[in-house]
Amino acid sequence: MGKESATLGGGCFWCLEAVYDQLKGVTDVVSGYSGGHVLNPTYKQICTGTTNHAEVTQITFDPEVISYKELLEVFFTIHDPTTLNRQGADVGTQYRSVIFYHSAEQQATAEQVRQDSQALWNNPIVTQIVPEETFYPAEDYHQEYFVNNPHAGYCQVVIAPKVSKFRAKYLAKLKA
């Protein structure tokens, strides 16, 4: 079996990338945009909220090491899937909770994991599950943002605590 892709949006793509980069079986994580109507969007365009693109990460993984279901179980614990078009102070459709599935099997798994994850949350999960459209990689300075900018304010205040919480919960699934 070859590598597969997962495309997930859970607010800021820097946060998701910082987490998924650390999982065994994940071979690549690219920050980007998906789900909108603008071809080859820029970050500046995305930030206007008028493109309908979401900030996403496209994750390449080896399903022999980590399953799509496991990726989604992590997804539903590292962001708040109950807030519509927002994550913390980030507000707009570009920050929506969304799973872009790449196959009917991924769609079924996403729907099941979303349903199973509802028990973790007091409010209803609003995560969209929609077919993958065109994925556009974000500009180079967005790639590996947390690794390259660990002392930036956003990294210290938002991403680092999220990564610490994730690492504690998923220690057995982390790369060496």
Q: In angstroms, rounded to a whole number, what is the distance separating the alpha carbons of residues 82 and 107?
A: 19
Quick check: is 12 catalytic? yes
Which residue in 12, 15, 47, 155 is the catalytic one?
Answer: 12
Give the tens place of pLDDT for each residue, 52-109. Answer: 999 999 999 999 999 999 999 999 999 999 999 988 888 889 999 999 999 999 999 9
**Model confidence pLDDT, tens digit, residues 17-56:** 999 999 999 999 999 999 999 999 999 999 999 999 999 9
What pTM value is reported for the model? 0.95
Which domains does the chain possess?
4-173 (3.30.1060.10)
Dist CA 126 CA 122 (whole Å): 12
CB 94 within 8 A of CB 54: yes
User: Which of 17, 28, 24 has its CA nearest to residue 141?
Assistant: 17
